[in-house]
Structures are given as structure tokens and as C-alpha cells.
Amino acid sequence: MTRKATITIDGKTIEVPIIKGSCGPDVLDISNFYQETGMFCYDPGFTSTASCASSITFINGDEGILLYRGYPIEDLVEKCDFLEVAYLLLYGELPDISQRESFEQSITHHSMLHEQLRTFFQGFRRDAHPMAVMVGVVGALSAFYHDNLDIYDPQQREVASHRLIAKMPTIAAMAYNYSRGCPLPYPQNRLTYAQNFLNMMFAVPSEPYQINPVIARAMDIIFILHADHEQNASTSTVRLAGSSQANPFACISSGIAALWGPAHGGANEAVLTMLKQIGSTKNISEFIERAKNKNDPFRLMGFGHRVYKNYDPRARIMRKACHDVLGQLNINDPLLEIALELERIALEDPYFIEKKLYPNVDFYSGIVFKALEIPPSMFTVIFSVARTVGWVAQWNEMMTDPAQKIGRPRQLYVGEKNRNFSKSK
Ligand code: SDX
């Protein structure tokens, strides 16, 4: 028997079905709310609104739990590599040996770019932010694959999904090398996904590049942690673009653009800038006070989250990766000392305790990237490489959802009423 909520407005009562998920909050199905009441529901920022039903990722923000297809993120980081997690997010189950081999074969053999796409980079200034390059070049993939793409054909959707997962590291490494005036790299099929990315990023044609296994493992973990995260701003952008039946390359390009913002995926770059700005543990208290001051636009980057009101489990894993990588590479980074002290002080401060502001995935990732000799402008690019798996998984889920229709929110109009047009002269 369907549970219902009753809502009475101006003496008229309507019944609203309550839908229960497999875990997490139940939802009120307000699909017919406007039809039955002539009113809209108002929820700027969608703080209380579920945009879809999904079985890909679940976050319990109060307890700091993150599940990919039901598996805790901690187990996946410990027991899988990124391509296995990518397969899980895309297909719903962990791959067996043959599934893993054919998936890896497909991704590996889609990792090159059409040779003409390499000329697209020449149009950018060398000092262009690499995220601008990612938005442009990934969007341009539409020009190369749009014609033979029926988004309602599962096989063609699968090829487009594999192409995107496979080509993102190549485009990202090309953007990095282009910014440095280095030759644009080619992928090497003998390498794993993370090794291939590092090789394309740092190898030069004039000498062999030694892949450090510690760095390759850290990169693989970073890819896993950033792969998907429910209906965050960039994933919601991909879904909204996809709901108009735009091709997947254009949809992923829109997701990259949304991820770029410092309130979202751009926070990792902003955290490093903030730690450098703080400069010393002696200055932490001043910045904590600024973060609490409503009149000061400064916020503690890498802190707070719309969903997590507890420690982001990804931040816990990134903090451990920080210690492991810096230890194994024998790096003593004063920024880590500032970050650890900043976290300690903030977590004892009543403001952060009351508002349940904890470190999020971006708080430590910048320090790890720095240890891997990745420049800050590339941090969000790497986030977009990893999140492409989540974006294409969510896009495929949306394309096969029978309830799917074009997303078209309404508004509370507060503008001028109907005015007579009269020209003064
Ligand atoms: C990501 O959605 C996702 O899942 C995103 C992500 C993913 O994997 O896709 O997890 C990746 O984007 C992580 C978040 C990275 N962003 C940052 O680290 C930027 C700093 N954080 C804030 O900008 C903020 O916490 C947000 C944007 C992350 C969340 O903002 P919300 O949910 O809209 O919360 P809010 O801004 O309303 O904050 C609630 C209160 C406010 O105070 P009051 O108005 O209630 O008095 O907490 C305060 C805020 O002023 N607050 C902060 C703060 N974050 C929130 N105060 C100081 N420093 C901060 N970082």
C-alpha cells in the first residue's frame, strides 16, 4: 500500500505519494503538484530536491559513508584498480576476468585522438587554463563522432562512453604538454590507465620515463575517489544537457565546465592557493576568523559539503595517501603541516562544529598532486578525467530511465507585471 502525505492549501487537501528508496531519505513524489495545486515548489540550490532515481552512488552524509553500486569506497580503493571501479559504475557489477580484459582492451584501443583533433590545441594560447582546453577539445569530439551516434542505440552509447573514458587522459596530458611547449603525447597500450596517464604527462621523446609505482598507485586511488558522487553540480549539468538529447560529448563538455568552479571541482586548486596564502601555522587563527566572518568572502577551501555533515570518507583516504606518498617519496612539504594544523584547529572550533564543516575530498588532494609534481592548474583537470566515468554512467542511466524527460525547472517570478509599452520620445 503506497504511503501518502496530505498537503492542505487554502482548505483544499491533496495526497502526495511517498516513495521509499533502498537506503537514504524517502521522497515525496510531487510530479503532479503543479497540476493539482497550481503552485510550484521552491528549492534554490536543490537542497531538498531529488532530481532522479539512481542506483549508481549513495552518500550517507551524516555518517560519512560513500558507496559505489553498494560497495564502500574504502573497500574499492583497497581491492580494485580504477578500471575495475569504472566497469562497476558503468555496468553495476564488478567485472570477472574476461569482462575486465575486454573492457580494458576497449578502453586501451580508444585512447588515441583523431590526428586532426591535435590541431585544435594550436588555437589556444599556451597560458590558457587547461580546463578551458578540456571544455573546448572534449566538446569538439562531437564534431568527430556526432554523425554516427544514435543515443538510443545501447551499443552506440557504449562506444561513446568508452571513447570518453579512454580519451580524457590523452586530452588532459596533451593540454598539459601544450601549455609547456612540449610535444603532444601518444598513449602506450602496454601501460595501465594510471601509468599511461603519467607517461603521457611527464615522458619526453628524448629519454625513457621511469614510472614510479608509488605515484602510479596514488594516481589510481585519486581516480577511484573522484569517479562519482551522486547528483553533484557537474553530474546534474550532464544529466540536464543529456535530457535535451544532446550528444554525450557535448554533455561531458558541459560537465567539465560546471566542475571548474572553485565551489565544486576547482576547490582542490583553491586549497593549495589558500595554504600558500596562509604560509605558516602561525597565521592559521587569523584565517579561521576570516572564514567565520560573514562580511569576509574568504572561505576555508576544502571544508564543508552540501551532503557530508561528517568527515568526507574520501578526505580520510586522501589524508592517508598524503602521508604515504610524501613518506615514500621522502618529501617534507610544509603545506601538509599547515593543512594538518588547520584541520585540527577548525575541527575544535564551535563555528565549524555547529555548522558541521569537515574537510572534503579537495582538502588534501592538492598536497598529493603537488608531491606528484602536478601543477595546480591541472588538479581539476585530473578530477574531470576521473569524474568522466561517473558522468557517462549517470548519462547512460538517465538515457535508459523510462521516467526520463527533458529537464525544465520552473521559477518564482518576482519581476515587473504586464506594462504598457509607451515610448517617451
Ligand atoms: C566538491 O556535491 C558534491 O558531491 C561535490 C563534490 C563531488 O565529488 O562532486 O564532493 C566535490 O565540490 C567538494 C566541495 C568543494 N568546495 C569547497 O571546498 C569550497 C568551500 N566549501 C563551501 O563553498 C561550501 O561548503 C560548499 C559549496 C561546498 C557547500 O555549500 P552549501 O551546501 O551551499 O552550504 P552553505 O554555503 O549554505 O554553508 C552552510 C553554512 C553557511 O553559513 P550560514 O550562511 O549558514 O551562516 O556554512 C558556512 C556558510 O557560510 N560555510 C563555510 C564554509 N562552507 C560553508 N564557512 C567557512 N568556510 C567554508 N568552507
Q: Tally Cβ neighbours within 10 Å of residue 119.
A: 10
Partnered with residue 263 across adjacent β-strands are none
CA of 266 to the centre of ligand 1 (A): 13
Residue 237 or 149, more confident: 237
By the 10 Å C-beta count (0-12 exposed, 13-18 middle, 19+ buried), 406 is classed as: exposed
pLDDT in tens, 100-119: 999 999 999 999 999 999 99
CA of 6 to the centre of ligand 1 (A): 33
Active-site position among 129, 162, 229, 305:
305
- Contact (Cβ atoms closer than 8 angstroms) between residue 337 and residue 303: no
* CB 3 less than 6 A from any atom of ligand 1: no
CA of 300 to the centre of ligand 1 (A): 9
Of 295, 305, 314, 351, best ligand 1 pocket probe by most atoms within 8 Å of the beta carbon: 305
* CB 299 less than 6 A from any atom of ligand 1: yes
* CB 301 less than 6 A from any atom of ligand 1: yes
- Contact (Cβ atoms closer than 8 angstroms) between residue 194 and residue 211: no
Would you place residue 250 in the very low, low, confident or very high pLDDT band (cuts 50, 70, 90)? Answer: very high
- Contact (Cβ atoms closer than 8 angstroms) between residue 305 and residue 358: yes
Of 298, 357, 379, 380, best ligand 1 pocket probe by most atoms within 8 Å of the beta carbon: 357
pLDDT in tens, 348-397: 999 999 999 999 999 999 999 999 999 999 999 999 999 999 999 999 99
Residue located nearest, by CA, to atom 15 of ligand 1: 264
- Contact (Cβ atoms closer than 8 angstroms) between residue 171 and residue 113: yes
CA of 272 to the centre of ligand 1 (A): 17
Partnered with residue 16 across adjacent β-strands are 5
Average pLDDT of the segment spanning 248-252: 97
Q: How far apart are CA 139 and CA 254, in angstroms?
A: 8
Catalytic status, residue 362? yes
